[in-house]
Structure 1
């Protein structure tokens, strides 16, 4: 965090105060160059928001279709305030793109609703690798911010 305190880094926005939160990350290894960059940006942003390194659990799975089962296990454990889904699906020449994109997206949403846990969905769906590269850092950071903000919102709603 380079000496700055968490409040400065979050722009003094209490919705982005990650201190005391526990976050689970599930990363697909398919298109690893992209998903590794997503994960790095996400973890760096979580740290900047005050989430302690020992409160971040980062697991990897083969691909986007395997992300939901790992998220489901994490959600069922009730150990996490929010979860993050990371992956990269690039359109190919067959219908497989639509299948993977639709099923992974629907499954992530269903798990969030079934378990009442925020899940920041940063499974990229792009036309080509250039689009994925252009989005990898910003979407990783965005996922961290969404996870923290939604964890704080649910915390407020539940109290």
Structure 2
């Protein structure tokens, strides 16, 4: 196979500015996602002074805050973190669908990378596993994806 020109993002956060938007609902889980994201970004060169944390009530409110932050022109990426845990009613389905659609729309409208670190779990146990125990930390993964996309988009 012939050599292909490849565009890849270097995982260097030096000089970049990030907004983290975190839901307060299920805060004990979301705080672990926030910690994971901040740790990842600082280990990859981000200055803590260039990371802003915005708290919103829950996952449903993430898209509006992300839209406002993306429109400010002050950030290189917005990383959204939340935890939606299934209950006995269809509420979970509506919140999860609108949150994911809204965040995708923010990314497409703004052209700014939006990290999706919103857990959608069937149980509290699953959420805890995805916030830093058995299944890794999805806050770390959202920060990594956002950082990589900043560096890819710079080259496109």
Are 1:52 and 2:77 an aligned pair? no
**Partner Cα distance (2:29, 2:114) in 1:** 20
Listed one character per residue, the Cα deviations across residues 109-129 of structure 1 (whole Å, up to 9, x for unaligned) are 000000001101011000001
8 Å Cα contact 2:9-2:152 kept in structure 1: no
Are 1:81 and 2:76 an aligned pair? yes
1:136 is aligned to: 131
**Partner Cα distance (1:130, 1:84) in 2:** 23
Using the TM superposition, give the Cα deviation of residue 14 of structure 1 relative to its aligned residue in structure 2, in angstroms.
Answer: 6.1
**Partner Cα distance (1:132, 1:63) in 2:** 15
**Of 13-22 and 50-59, the range deviating more from structure 2:** 13-22
TM-score using structure 1 length: 0.89
Number of positions where the alignment pairs a residue of Structure 1 with one of Structure 2: 145
Pick aligned residue for 2:86 from 82, 91, 97: 91
Are 1:39 and 2:34 an aligned pair? yes
TM-score using structure 2 length: 0.90
Are 1:153 and 2:152 an aligned pair? yes
**Partner Cα distance (2:13, 2:66) in 1:** 20
8 Å Cα contact 2:9-2:149 kept in structure 1: no
Q: Which runs of 4+ in 1 moved over 2 A?
A: none
**Partner Cα distance (1:102, 1:15) in 2:** 31
Q: Which runs of 5+ in 1 are unaligned?
A: 1-12
**Partner Cα distance (2:104, 2:87) in 1:** 24
Using the TM superposition, give the Cα deviation of residue 140 of structure 1 relative to its aligned residue in structure 2, in angstroms.
Answer: 1.1
C-alpha RMSD of the superposition: 1.1
Q: Which runs of 5+ in 2 are unaligned?
A: 1-7
**Partner Cα distance (1:140, 1:71) in 2:** 16
